[in-house]
Each structure stands twice: as C-alpha cells, then as structure tokens.
Amino acid sequence: MAAKRKPRRTARSSSSDAQSRMTETVHQIWLAGLGAVSKAQHGTPHLLEELMAEGERVDAQVRGAASETLRSVVGTVRSKFNARVSSARGQASEAVDGLEKMFRTRVRRALTQLGVPSGQDIEALSRRVDTLNANIGKLARSRTAPRRRAPAKRASSPPPAA
C-alpha cells in the first residue's frame, strides 16, 4: 500500500509557524534590548555611585596591600644592604690591616738595611747612656770630695856655717 501523503496545507502551515516563531523571537530580543537600554538610562546614576563606592573600596585594599608589600620589600632590601655594607666594611678593614702590616714590615726592613736603629735599639742606648751618666756622676762626686792627707814633713836645712 501506498503511504499517506500529508496535505500541502500542513507543510505550508508548519513553515509559516516556524516563520512566525522566528519573528516572535526576534521581537522578544528587540524588546529585551530596549528594556536594557531603558534600565541603563534610568539606573545609571545609582549604578555609577555603586561602582564608585566599590572602586574606592578595592582601591583602598589594593593601596594598603601594595603599601604593606612595599614596606616589607624596602625593609628586606635595607636589611640585606646593611648586612652587605657591614660585610664589606669588615673585609675592607681586614684588607687595610693587612696592607698596614705589610707596609710596616717593608719600612722596617728598608730602615734596617740603611742602618737606621729601631725604637728598641734607641731605648737600649738610652738606658746605657743613663747608666753611664749615673756612673760618671758617682766618679765626679768621689773626686771632688776632700781627701785627708797627713801633714807633709819639712825638710831640715843644714845649719848655717860660721
């Protein structure tokens, strides 16, 4: 048996139904857009105030967090810088001490080669000079002291001849 055919009107009516549904959907989209525009026009001042308040709140949080982070970073950098400066000062001090020691050694060696007496040599000579001066003073006192001598005998002269 042959299949039943749908009447042509039904096919036409289903295409016209699809068209009308499409038109209605487009109309609804149009109305939704108009409604959004209307709400935006009427609600903008209030919405703007809400957005500004939210922006201020977020800005305060961000600034506070950024400020705290910056303080933390600056503190860390400062402490690391101070530690490195301290270390560099210590190394520089050690280097200067080493150079000073080396300089003193070389100057002492050069003065010794030239025959210049050292501080210890001069101190030893000073002690010897002081000892010699004390001995000279003792000798001088002993020489200036009067000696007691026995009276000298007079020689007898021969009697005069007559």
pLDDT digits (tens, 9 = 90+) for 28-87: 988 887 777 677 667 666 766 776 788 888 888 888 888 899 899 999 999 999 999 999
Tell me the HSE value of 6 on the side-chain side, using a 13 A CA sphere.
Answer: 7
118 and 108 in contact (C-beta within 8 Å)? yes
The pTM for the full model equals 0.37
The dihedrals phi and psi of 24, each to the nearest 5 degrees, come to -65, -40
The dihedrals phi and psi of 118, each to the nearest 5 degrees, come to -85, 175
Q: Where are the domains of the chain?
A: 16-116
pLDDT digits (tens, 9 = 90+) for 87-124: 999 999 999 999 999 999 999 899 889 888 888 889 99
